[in-house]
Structure 1
């Protein structure tokens, strides 16, 4: 794929996903019995987004690196088979590919442990060199599975280059202050991340519309989209405020649903949909994902979605 044909650039980490099952998500101090430990086709948020958009027929490129090891080769195969542009993805023999552990409960809820090492991720000079080689790209999607400073630099540079910038600041540690985010056009967060960004306890109940308005005011980012798990999603944006319901589906596994929702939303924007319609369509896409076991390996093509929606 020629670089001038790319609509979306993904700047985030690649890792390999290991899974296990538990009866319920453990609480503090609890020792949980787990079973079915195995690897899945799951490369972390960056890889998942690139795969999901590519499977929908989107023109997407992944910018980043991994170790010259089995994990790095799996990333190349998974994204390449989906149709993503990998001309700016490379494997470095001096680093190791990251690992993530996803714990899945019987009710479909999950907990993710991320073992990414910032020293094994793309750095700012590398990013600057590669990102400036693109032109005419509509959207840049980034997140914190690369070091925070690299991700934020990607958003700033993308904005400078004329791209619409999308930030999913995950994983986000408590006490993190992201400062001014006026160069971020769209902020994608979940309920917990919204509370962290406002300096609130993560167990505190918040009105999510009020939280989104407060985040817009505090961080100067114009569009805030918050995913609410089984309660759907909501947005406070330049186009208005709304809530999007969950599309009915039997929930088997929520892993990767948020990445899929974000991917479907961005793909819809590249097809000319407005944000509200994009979120509605993305909710239906996420329903497909949660009704199947797995993440990137089950992200659907348009044909599979058409059959599911019937």
Structure 2
């Protein structure tokens, strides 16, 4: 039997980059590299994982800013070759640090060769906004056929997903293709209004994933598997802003789990690690996930 072909990267992330222009009343605008999938790729690289990001970037100042940011962490940036404007988002922070978003984004991903990898992660608008979403889902199917595992985070943006029924159909298509799914309680409340969040997560588990994880902000997170349920609290921290918290959680989760079907003990450890990463991120401005050294520090590392 031939030896398996080694992976070019540990993880491939597929999805949009966005220039987050952070707007706080009384202060100058602050541009930050962002976009949920880009944040996940950045967080994975900071945690020492060989990571590639398949995305779209314009040949403009924001595109240069984002590319430099990702490559500085060690992310291999791949694009589909289309020269499209780099997406932007106006991020407005309220007095508590909570963020709201106003987007200018198109997702027109073209069919593109991808590196060999053991795991593919898809997230956010890239999974629901056409025509690029259909290409992204095709890449997931090809990755599974080649033996890779798949994770998914819908990271729903209600103002951009269009009609709810179509968004639900697109999200559930990705859930079916995934081994692990992470969503926030707000995501599930939007997709299935009036349905208890845990009930929605339990139904997703019947669609195919081995693990469904729900984050609940300051109330922690829980995970469902066929073997049972585990929970973790959110560490106490001082919140500067919530930008990138869920993405940091996702990065640490993927960096910690080595199997798509973890034991409940392993899943509990991963949830705690991911919650610690999110806590570090919200304690400082922007989507600034921890390094491996910060996450391993007894006190969670420097939060400034």
Task: Give yes or no for the alignment of 1:60 onto 2:40.
Answer: no
Q: How many residues are paired up? A: 278
The aligned runs of 1:225-264 (5 Å cut-off) are 225-264=213-252
CA distance in 2, matches of 1:89, 1:183: 23
- Structure with more contact order per residue of length (Cα contacts < 8 Å, sep ≥ 6): 1
* Aligned with residue 109 of structure 1, among 80, 85, 98: 98
* Aligned with residue 191 of structure 1, among 167, 185, 194: 185
Unaligned runs of at least 5 residues, structure 1: 22-33
CA distance in 2, matches of 1:208, 1:243: 14
* Aligned with residue 40 of structure 1, among 15, 22, 31: 31
**Residue deviations 1:150-185 (CA, integer Å, cap 9, x gap):** 332232222122111111123353322235443211
Secondary structure at 1:73 match in 2: helix
The aligned runs of 1:10-49 (5 Å cut-off) are 10-21=13-24, 34-49=25-40
CA distance in 1, matches of 2:155, 2:69: 22
Instruction: Tell me the residue number matched to 1:284.
Output: 276
CA distance in 2, matches of 1:253, 1:270: 30
Instruction: Tell me the residue number matched to 1:163.
Output: 148
Q: TM-score, normalised by structure 1?
A: 0.81
**Residue deviations 1:245-280 (CA, integer Å, cap 9, x gap):** 101111111110001000110011149973321111
Secondary structure at 2:22 match in 1: strand
Do 1:143 and 1:151's aligned partners in 2 also have CA atoms closer than 8 Å? no
CA distance in 2, matches of 1:302, 1:232: 21
Secondary structure at 2:36 match in 1: helix
- Quote how far apart the aligned CAs of 1:281 are: 0.5
Do 2:120 and 2:143's aligned partners in 1 also have CA atoms closer than 8 Å? yes
Secondary structure at 2:89 match in 1: strand
Instruction: Tell me the residue number matched to 1:89.
Output: 79
CA distance in 2, matches of 1:247, 1:271: 25
CA distance in 2, matches of 1:281, 1:291: 16
Task: Give yes or no for the alignment of 1:214 onto 2:203.
Answer: yes
Unaligned runs of at least 5 residues, structure 2: 1-5
**Residue deviations 1:38-65 (CA, integer Å, cap 9, x gap):** 2333221121111111111111111122
**Residue deviations 1:67-97 (CA, integer Å, cap 9, x gap):** 11112211220111001123x33664x3111
Q: TM-score, normalised by structure 2?
A: 0.83
The aligned runs of 1:200-211 (5 Å cut-off) are 200=193, 204=194, 206-211=195-200
